[in-house]
Amino acid sequence: MKTITREELQKLIEANKDVTIIEALPQEEFDKGHIPGAIRISKSEVDTLAPQLLPNKNAKIVVYCASLECNASTAVTGMLTSRGYIDVSDYKEGKADWIAANLPIVTAAKV
């Protein structure tokens, strides 16, 4: 399984590389804050959402979750890989690492 560091992910984003970032957490966690540009697909939604949201199985995909203690990103990365996606990386340190580096997060607007 491929992994990616925060620095590598930052470089991809800053270079405007075509990368799909996936948060593998529940909707309420996503709404509290996520990496800019990220979409959300949890483990239980891979089979229903991946075909719609990730039609290109050759696309560069980075999956993350809460932190090193969370295994949701590893599970979703494995599931996507087993379904034929060929360029999927796991950002294992996740949202906690991103926030600790004072990088921006996006929160859901309150209605």
23-69 confidence digits (pLDDT tens): 999 999 999 999 999 999 999 999 999 999 999 999 999 999 999 99
Is residue 20 within a helix (H) or strand (E), and if so which, with residue range?
strand 19-23
Query: Bigger pLDDT: 100 or 16?
Result: 100
- Segment 84-95 shows an average pLDDT of 98
Q: Residue for token digits 């950002």?
A: 91
Closest CA relative to residue 86, chosen from 66, 58, 110, 63? 58
Taking the model in full, what pTM does it have? 0.95
- Strand order through the sheet with 60-64: 2-3, 87-91, 60-64, 19-23, 39-40
Euclidean distance between CA atoms 86 and 89, whole angstroms = 9
pLDDT of residue 2: 96
Euclidean distance between CA atoms 82 and 46, whole angstroms = 11
Q: 2-100: what CATH class?
A: alpha beta
pLDDT confidence bin for 109, thresholds 50/70/90? low
Euclidean distance between CA atoms 27 and 9, whole angstroms = 22
pLDDT at 111 over 50: no
Is residue 19 within a helix (H) or strand (E), and if so which, with residue range?
strand 19-23
pLDDT confidence bin for 16, thresholds 50/70/90? confident
Q: What are the domain boundaries of the chain?
A: 2-100
